[in-house]
Each structure stands twice: as C-alpha cells, then as structure tokens.
Amino acid sequence: MSLQGKTAFITGGAQGIGLAIGRQLAQDGAAVILADINGEKVVAAGEELRREGCKALPVIMDVADEQSVNQAVATASRELGAPTILVNNAGIYTKTPAIEVDLKIWHKVLDTMLTGPLLAARAVAPAMIAANWGRIINMGSMMSYLAFGQDVGYSVVKAGMLGLTRSLAAELAPHQICVNTICPGNIMTELMEETARNIEKRDGMAPGTFLEQRPKQIPLGRIGAPEDIARTASYLCSDAADYVTGQSLHVNGGLYQS
Ligand SMILES: NC(=O)c1ccc[n+]([C@@H]2O[C@H](COP(=O)([O-])OP(=O)(O)OC[C@H]3O[C@@H](n4cnc5c(N)ncnc54)[C@H](O)[C@@H]3O)[C@@H](O)[C@H]2O)c1
C-alpha cells in the first residue's frame, strides 16, 4: 500500500485507461478523483470503484476549461485532500487530415489534450510543491513518435506531451516532483475502437479487420489491456520510481522499439 495517505487526480477517469489507473492507484492505497466531462459515466465509475472498496470521488470537469479544472481540483482537495498525483489522461480521437482539418476541431484537440494537461498541472502543482513530493503522468502515445496520416491533431498533441513532460520535469525537480510520459501502443478501449474504424475507412478495409489483424503485428501477440498501462502508472507513482523523471515509457507489446 505504497500510496496510503496520498490523493490522485485522474483526468478522463470515467472509462478505459483512466478508470483502470484509478482502480490500480486506489488498490495501491490512494484516494482517487475520477475527473471527466462525461457526467453519467464518471458517476457510474465512481460507484463501481466504491463498491470494490476503493476511496473514489467522481467529478464532472472539462479539462479544456480553466475554471472547470480549478473547481474540480478545489472540490477534490476539500473532499479527499490536495492531490499530489496527477494523471493527465483525458483524450479524444478525431480524424484530422492536415490539409483540410477544420480549425475548430484542431483547436478542440489542442485544448483537450495539450492545454488541458498544462491547466491541470498548474492547478495541482502548489500542493505538490508544499508537500515537497509529487508525481505527474502525462499520457502520450506511439504517435508521440510516429505519424500515419490524417491525424495531424493527435500527432501534434502527443508529441507536444513530450515537451510538456520535459518542461515540467525540469521546472519541478527541485521540489521532488517527478514528471513522466507513458506512451501506450494499442490498448483495447472505446478510443481504440473509434481509431480502428477510422483506419479501416481510410485504408479501405472491411469493418473489424484492423483489430482482428493487429495482434499479428505486435511481437507480444496481443492488443494491450488498460491494466497494462495502469501497472506502469502504479510503478511511476511508487517510491521505486523516485529517480525517474522527464522520461517516456513505451508500453506497446514491442510494436516498435525505442
Ligand atoms: N487506447 C489506446 O490504444 C491509446 C493508445 C495511446 C494513447 N492513448 C491515450 O490514452 C488516454 C486515454 O484513452 P482511452 O483509450 O482510455 O480513451 P477513452 O475514450 O476510453 O477515454 C477517454 C476519456 O477522456 C474523457 N474526456 C474526453 N474529453 C474530455 C474533456 N474535455 N475533459 C475531461 N475528460 C474528457 C472521455 O469522456 C473519456 O472518459 C488518451 O489520452 C489517449 O490518447 C490511448
């Protein structure tokens, strides 16, 4: 129970990777705040974790909106204690072809997945500095490093996550705050299903083909589970990772090597 007494704030915690991280950090002893724009799902996720005996609080929040983020962190701090663990996980997938992307969509992608993590980091940093301890985990992607076409928004924000991680790591290191990126490969979630449908349309593949063929292209032979990422987050939050900051960890079944 290495995280006993600590509070973790997880954006996009209503489902998928965020919810798995919430469950894992709660099992490690933390009180967890699941902060998500989807009110119905986040309330259900909070109830699910509480039924399992976890200390969990759902909060409705739009990570792209500064006031909403500050309010969510204030509520979390009042109810469960100021968070000293932040997981910047909220994400959306929208097709964004570089030469014709609608700028409204472009800005939404950047606001949600790049500005949002900065806003959340700013909201939680004072408590981390006061505690002289903290962990920030930013969710990157294989697309922090690779591009496949028609995804300029996602590619730019996920590459930007590496810069955000490096900058926060350098700035916050004097306060013993470790900041790292996890770069998942293909992880089975709703976002993955949406991405697969887009890839199939883009490449003229029959529905279902991508997810059926993908395991054969992954050296470990399977698509990842949200729990694969949750265990990595657990490690990064633990004392075992006290000397790890400014890094990106690739959790991808060997899909590419770094
Ligand atoms: N699934 C994968 O294969 C994969 C691979 C690489 C990276 N990732 C990244 O992991 C993270 C989680 O993805 P997932 O696969 O669990 O997706 P998901 O769609 O299952 O969950 C994303 C969550 O983010 C929430 N969200 C979206 N916009 C928000 C906003 N403005 N404010 C607050 N919450 C918001 C959604 O409501 C949802 O609950 C994302 O950052 C994604 O880019 C996923």
Domain of residue 153, residue span = 7-186+225-251
- d(CA 85, CA 38) in angstroms, rounded, equals 22
> With contact defined as beta carbons under 8 Å apart, do 189 and 226 qualify?
yes
Distance 73 CA to ligand 1 centre (A): 19
- d(CA 181, CA 194) in angstroms, rounded, equals 23
Would you call 93 a catalytic residue per the annotation?
no
**pLDDT exceeds cutoff 70 at 51:** yes
Q: Ligand 1: does its nearest atom lie under 6 Å from the Cβ of 83?
A: no
Determine, yes or no, domain membership for 206. no
Which ligand 1 atom sits closest to the C-alpha of 191? 19
Distance 12 CA to ligand 1 centre (A): 6
- Give percent of the chain with pLDDT exceeding 70: 100
| β-pair partners for 117 | none
What is the length of the chain? Answer: 258
| Mean pLDDT value across the chain | 97
Q: Ligand 1: does its nearest atom lie under 6 Å from the Cβ of 15?
A: yes
* The pLDDT value given to residue 1: 60
Closest CA to ligand 1's atom 23 = 12
Q: Ligand 1: does its nearest atom lie under 6 Å from the Cβ of 90?
A: yes
Give pLDDT tens digits for 215-244: 999 999 999 999 999 999 999 999 999 999
Determine, yes or no, domain membership for 128. yes
Determine, yes or no, domain membership for 53. yes
Closest CA to ligand 1's atom 38 = 12
Q: Ligand 1: does its nearest atom lie under 6 Å from the Cβ of 92?
A: yes
Q: Within 13 Å of residue 250, how many CA atoms lie on the same side as its CB?
A: 13
Distance 139 CA to ligand 1 centre (A): 9
Q: How confident is the model at residue 202 (pLDDT cuts 50, 70, 90)?
A: confident
* The pLDDT value given to residue 125: 98
Q: Ligand 1: does its nearest atom lie under 6 Å from the Cβ of 139?
A: yes
Determine, yes or no, domain membership for 193. no
**pLDDT exceeds cutoff 70 at 172:** yes
Distance 174 CA to ligand 1 centre (A): 30
Determine, yes or no, domain membership for 194. no
* The pLDDT value given to residue 139: 98
pTM above 0.85, yes or no: yes
Determine, yes or no, domain membership for 208. no
Q: Ligand 1: does its nearest atom lie under 6 Å from the Cβ of 187?
A: yes
Q: Ligand 1: does its nearest atom lie under 6 Å from the Cβ of 192?
A: yes
Within a 10 A sphere around the Cβ of 102, how many other Cβ atoms?
A: 11
CATH of the domain at 140: 3.40.50.720
Q: Which of 178, 170, 189, 192 is nearest to 230 (CA)?
A: 189
- Give percent of the chain with pLDDT exceeding 90: 96
> With contact defined as beta carbons under 8 Å apart, do 34 and 8 qualify?
no
* The pLDDT value given to residue 154: 96
Q: Which of 56, 39, 128, 122 is nearest to 88 (CA)?
A: 122
Domain count of the fold of the chain: 1
Closest CA to ligand 1's atom 25 = 12
Determine, yes or no, domain membership for 191. no
**pLDDT exceeds cutoff 80 at 148:** yes
What's the start-to-end Cα distance of the chain, in Å?
32
Q: What is the mean pLDDT of residues 155-168?
A: 98
Distance 11 CA to ligand 1 centre (A): 9
Closest CA to ligand 1's atom 20 = 16
Give pLDDT tens digits for 59-118: 999 999 999 999 999 999 999 999 999 999 999 999 999 999 999 999 999 999 999 999
| β-pair partners for 134 | 177
Determine, yes or no, domain membership for 209. no
The CA distances from residue 35 to 8, 109, 151, 186, 192, in Å, are: 10, 18, 26, 23, 20
